[in-house]
């Protein structure tokens, strides 16, 4: 039935958005092999349920349009509502400020001081004492604001 | 000449220590962490239910129904999954045989709703009857067991009916999940 084909595509897309959102962000500019496997494996498994044995071009076109429409709707809601933007993207989180770690954030986001130092080194900061503020951005990257040299 | 649309820049992003505009919202984030914990618990629950057979293919999904005279015993799954193959087993007792033949009526909901693909062993005859198909097995190859291969394609609740002539019908329902 045509309805089920469209419903499967919409459900698959929205379910994947939820899964990727709650699996959590890991620091880094690029996908780690760990995340690479996760994304492709999830995509493949979702595709099995969405397509099944029905491999017609009509199904593919309607499902692609459905996914595009869902994506457009989420983007629209994200633009219109700040709350929706927070739900979909998350919010930046401070990891370190005023020479102290935000322990709760580090534990809940599964981030270690090594991850922060990794980004700091890329900016030429030699040790943690050179960091003024460290922020985990909503897209997963860690931003370092260095202390001003006296 | 039309003026380009302009809006003044407003410093609306909350700052950390009154210095760095980060836009952190710990109140929201704590709620999200709580939501994540609930979702992960729910996912674990879903997997446990799946292992037990709540969604088919497991211990809780298996069911058995018999006629009072034991002419027919039906082994089936209460919950099926759309597009997934399964087997419904019909066990015939001595009361099912009449004049060297065993006949069994299989309702249309098994054929269409549950997507019956084939019945084995091969029946001697099969005839379209009101609301289903009646299969006849020869006495020479009298099966005590017949199996119907299923592959349901339509999600929903399907009321099925299977009957050996002269006995009470077995009427039950099977839920097909998407």
- Kindly report, residue by residue over A94-123, the tens digit of the pLDDT: 999 888 899 999 999 989 889 899 889 988
Count of beta carbons in the 10 Å neighbourhood of residue B165: 14
pLDDT of res. B18: 66
Higher pLDDT, A127 or A26: A127
Angle, CA B171 vertex, CA B167 and CA B172 arms, to 5°: 150
Query: Is the ipTM beyond the 0.90 threshold?
Result: no
Q: What backbone phi and psi angles, to 5 degrees, belong to B158?
A: -120, 125
Report whether CATH 2.60.40.10 matches the domain B62-177: yes
Write down the mean pLDDT value for chain A.
Answer: 88
pLDDT of res. B116: 93
pLDDT < 50: residue spans in chain B: none
pLDDT of res. B36: 94
> What gap in Å lies between CA A147 and CA A145, rounded to an integer?
7
Which residues sit opposite B127 in a β-bridge? B134
Give me the long-range contacts of B114-118 (CB less than 8 A, separation at least 24).
Answer: B114/B80, B114/B88, B114/B150, B114/B152, B114/B158, B114/B160, B114/B174, B114/B176, B115/B150, B115/B151, B115/B152, B115/B153, B115/B154, B116/B148, B116/B149, B116/B150, B117/B85, B117/B149, B117/B150, B117/B151, B118/B148, B118/B149
Which residues in chain B have their CB less than 8 angstroms from residue A4's CB?
155, 178
Its pTM stands at 0.80
Token pair for A146? 């260095």
Helices (H) and strands (E) in chain B, counts: 2, 14
Q: What is the CATH number of domain A93-146?
A: 3.30.240.20
Angle, CA B104 vertex, CA B100 and CA B105 arms, to 5°: 145
A69 touches chain B (CB under 8 A): no
A139 touches chain B (CB under 8 A): no
Q: Taking CB atoms and an 8 Å limit, are A92 and B36 in contact across chains? A: no
pLDDT of res. A62: 93
Q: Taking CB atoms and an 8 Å limit, are A22 and B25 in contact across chains? A: no
Which residues in chain A have their CB less than 8 angstroms from residue B32's CB?
87, 90
pLDDT of res. A46: 87
* Boundaries of every domain in chain A: 2-89, 93-146
pLDDT of res. A35: 80
pLDDT band at A37 (very low <50, low <70, confident <90, very high): confident
Q: Taking CB atoms and an 8 Å limit, are A90 and B29 in contact across chains? A: yes
pLDDT of res. B10: 72
Average pLDDT over residues A51-76: 91
């Amino acid at each position: 039935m045509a309805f089920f084909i469209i419903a499967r595509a919409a459900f698959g897309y929205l379910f994947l958005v939820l899964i990727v959102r709650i699996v959590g962000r890991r620091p880094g500019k690029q996908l780690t092999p760990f995340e690479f496997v996760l994304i492709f494996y999830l995509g493949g498994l979702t595709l099995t349920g969405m397509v099944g044995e029905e491999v017609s071009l009509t199904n593919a076109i309607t499902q692609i349009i459905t996914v595009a429409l869902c994506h457009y709707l989420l983007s629209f809601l994200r633009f219109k509502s700040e709350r929706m933007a927070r739900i979909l993207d998350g919010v930046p989180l401070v990891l370190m400020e005023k020479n102290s770690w935000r322990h709760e954030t580090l534990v809940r986001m599964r981030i270690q001081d090594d991850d922060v130092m990794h980004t700091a080194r890329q900016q030429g900061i030699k040790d943690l004492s050179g960091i003024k503020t460290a922020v985990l951005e909503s897209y997963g990257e860690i931003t370092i604001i260095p202390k001003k040299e006296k | 000449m039309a003026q380009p649309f302009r809006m003044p820049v407003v410093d609306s992003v909350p700052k950390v220590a009154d210095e760095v505009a980060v836009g952190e919202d710990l109140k929201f984030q704590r709620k999200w962490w709580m939501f994540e914990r609930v979702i992960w618990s729910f996912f674990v629950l879903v997997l446990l239910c799946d292992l037990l057979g709540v969604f088919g293919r497991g211990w809780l999904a298996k069911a058995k129904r018999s006629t009072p005279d034991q002419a027919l015993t039906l082994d089936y799954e209460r919950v099926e999954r759309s597009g997934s193959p399964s087997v419904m087993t019909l066990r015939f007792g001595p009361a099912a045989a009449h004049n060297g033949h065993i006949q069994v009526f299989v309702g249309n909901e098994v054929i269409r709703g549950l997507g019956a693909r084939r019945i084995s062993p091969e029946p001697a005859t099969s005839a379209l009857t009101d609301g289903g198909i009646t299969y006849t097995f020869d006495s020479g190859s009298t099966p005590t067991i017949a199996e119907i291969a299923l592959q349901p394609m339509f999600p929903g609740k399907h009321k099925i009916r299977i009957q050996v002539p002269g006995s009470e019908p077995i009427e039950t329902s099977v839920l097909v999940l998407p």
